[in-house]
Structure 1
Amino acid sequence: MKTVLRCAALIGLLLACPLMARTVDDSYTIASRFERYRSLYPGIAWPAVAPVPGETMLFDRAYKTLPDRALHLDIFRPAPDHARHQGLVLVHGGAWRSGSKAHFYVLADRLAQRGYTVFLPEYRLSPEAPFPAGLIDVNDAMVWVKSHAAEFGLSPGRIALGGASSGGQMASLVAYSQAAGLFRSKPDDDRRANALIDIDGVLDFTTPQALQFENASGAASSAAKWLGGAYEQVPARWKEASAATYVGPTSPPTLIISSGNAHFTAGKDQVIATLQASHIPVRWYAFEKAPHDVWLFEPWLPTVVDQIDNFLKNLPE
């Protein structure tokens, strides 16, 4: 009887103090994208993570503690004798509302085999917290990586930032707005990246091309749910969330990779022109006919890896 009473008391305590729950949108998965594309792109293949000897992976290292939970990142490390001593933080996509750091495992694996140390952070998505929470998380991930760089055989000055789709948009915004002091947890946060890699991420929400897609369903669009309203309702916030607003003489060298679907990199012409005028290295690569998620599938993934590798290894010291 005492055991039953103790159990009943424990259950009552748990019911009285429920664990914090958060809304998770799992609508964006590799499996769902593969099914969508398999009849449209003959030859598409789902690649595997295939580590080589000496390559290591570290999972769920906490980089930030929130009031109700911690945020983690995964780390893919190259074999010691193959390390380039260049780090890369990659922000996953998923329309600001979905997705997972695990979606970058294959890309991180391939880049680690090229000698890069790759960090994959989770961050708060729009069902949990709207703009700018996720951007502050990306800031904090960069600050954590730079402060722990020596632990991974890296220099704080050789950490790049990148991402794909909405993650590319966020990475670009965080990288370019460093000088403006936006999206920081602390005034002295140093998140400066020595390069930016934007894979199919919108660079200017306010262009007609971007608005045609990102604002097509008004307040019901993924961008509007993240930003707190349609463009017509909060135009200043859509501009604030546009990386092209902040690009300038202190912006990092930039690689922009396009799937060939031009609206995903809307604003790139302005960005490229501004970087070129400041004599900042910038490279643009576009596939001719590819799905949006070129970083997920063969035969496009190797080209993405090659483009990133060729860009990073030729950065000025």
Structure 2
Amino acid sequence: MPQPETDNTRVISAVPGRTNVYVHLDVVYAQRDGVDLHLQIIQPSGDAAMLGWEAAFSGRYPCIAFVQGAGWREQALGAAMSYLCRFAARGYVIAIVEHRPSAVAPHPAQVHDARTAIRWLRQHADRYGINAERITIAGDSSGGHTALLVHATDGSPALDDDPDAGPLNLSSAVAFYAPTDLTQMERDDAVRDLLGGRRPSEDLDAAREASPAYHLDARPRGPVLLVHGTADEVVRYEHSVAYAQAQAEAGHECDLVLVEGAHHGIWPSLFNSEVADVVDAFLRRQTMGTHEPPTPEAVTDTRKQ
């Protein structure tokens, strides 16, 4: 170790073994309607300066494909990046999924794009350190709706623009404050735009087709975790309560977490460390085989009621 030359010199030892978070920005995964669609990929790695580049990026991790919510309109793809980086540091590859906005292409374009993104991630799993057999789809608000719709219709030709490609075989789905039944959102302008300018009552069949609640059946699918704030004024938490009940009635595993007093959106009141622990525990049960979820006091877990 070098000796300090002055009283103002400090020597600090390097700390090996820590996880780095490496972000690949604006990775194009498809082009639709003349629009490039991007992924923001957050990849865990070792310390390349100490291990060497190849060794640092040799790991394979479960992947979370996160559909950023924006009322199905143009997405702010960095809105949840800080929070999602915490999951990359815990050992997940995160891919923030951009889809076509409803002004460019209404439903089911967003579902088609999310499916395409997941298939692209599987095809490029080696490049980004992804365990291709352990992919979860997630999202918040309208992105959570898209995630649940992809999950609920997996393995069915419904809402799949490439059914010959086969099912996605998702490990699980996680949805934050997601609309699950669009027929209950008559006055929501974002829902109107998603349905091509029609209110749900003007085309009830289309509203049902675009609602995860109307696609539940007994076909096997991975477990679901729903997280919703009880003070959400944009998407009432009853959407998640009803969907959890419907999942249970269909014979599927569904965990519901209500965050007391939290409103709508990616804010610390809901996107906090306690919720991150609950989501992490849920994902590890699906992708890593652990079975000991934490029980933070700040979260109401309806399984215990």
TM-score range, shorter chain: 0.7 to 0.9
Give the structure 1 partner of residue 190 of structure 2.
Answer: 222
Residue 171 of structure 2 corresponds to residue 194 of structure 1:
yes
Could you tell me which of 235, 244, 258 is aligned with 2:213?
Answer: 244
Query: If the length of structure 1 is used for normalisation, what is the TM-score?
Result: 0.74
8 A contact 2:155–2:168 mirrored in 1: no
Among 280, 286, 294, the residue aligned to 1:315: 286
**Distance (Å, rounded) in 2 between the aligned partners of 1:265 and 1:149:** 35
Which of 59, 62, 81 aligns to 2:25? It is 59
* Structure 2 residue aligned with 1:49: none
CA distance in 2, matches of 1:140, 1:63: 8
Q: Secondary structure at the match of 2:286?
A: coil
Q: 1:281 to 1:67 in 2, by over 3 A?
A: closer
* Aligned ranges 1:78-89 → 2 under 5 Å: 78-80=44-46, 85-89=61-65
* C-alpha spacing 1:202/1:265, structure 2 compared with 1 (3 Å): farther
Q: RMSD between aligned alpha carbons?
A: 2.4
CA distance in 2, matches of 1:278, 1:150: 36
What aligned pairs does 1:275-290 form with structure 2 within 5 A after superposition? 275-277=247-249, 280-290=252-262
Q: Give the structure with the higher percent strand.
A: 2
Name the stretch that deviates more: 267-276 or 58-67.
267-276
Aligned partners of 1:261 and 1:88: how far apart in 2? 27
1:107 deviates by: 1.9
Q: Give the residue type in structure 2 aligned to 1:302.
A: S
- CA–CA separation in structure 2 for the residues paired with 1:272 and 1:309: 19
Q: Does 1:203 align with 2:173?
A: no
Secondary structure in 2 matching 1:312: helix
The separation in 2 between residues aligned to 1:178 and 1:53, in whole angstroms, is 33
Q: Give the counterpart of 2:39 among 67, 73, 76.
A: 73
C-alpha separation in 2, matches of 1:300 and 1:122 = 20
Instruction: Decide whether the 8 Å contact of 2:19 with 2:89 is kept in 1.
Output: no
Measure, in 2, the Cα distance between the counterparts of 1:84 and 1:309: 17
Number of the residue aligned with 1:302 = 273
SS of residue paired to 2:87: helix
SS in 2 for 1:289: coil
CA distance in 1, matches of 2:269, 2:241: 28
1:162 to 138, 144, 164: 138
- Alpha-carbon deviation of 1:279? 5.0
Number of residue pairs the alignment of both structures matches: 256
Measure, in 2, the Cα distance between the counterparts of 1:315 and 1:119: 18
Query: Are the equivalent residues in 1 in contact too, given 2:26–2:38 (CA < 8 A)?
Result: yes
2:292 matched residue in structure 1: none
Deviation >4 Å, runs of 4+: 81-84
Q: Structure 1 residues 274, 251: CA separation in 2 closer, same or farther (over 3 Å shift)?
A: farther
Deviations 1:214-270 (A, max 9, x none): 2126xxx11011112011211101100110111233222000000114644444344
**8 Å Cα contact 1:203-1:265 kept in structure 2:** no
Question: Which residue in 1 is equivalent to 2:225?
Answer: 255
State the secondary structure of the residue aligned to 1:232.
helix
Deviation of residue 306 (structure 1)? 1.5
Distance 1:204 1:265, change over 3 A: farther
Relative to the length of structure 2, the TM-score reads 0.76
Distance 1:247 1:169 in 2: 14
Q: Secondary structure at the match of 1:103?
A: coil
Structure 2 spans left out of the alignment, 5+ residues: 1-17, 47-55, 290-305
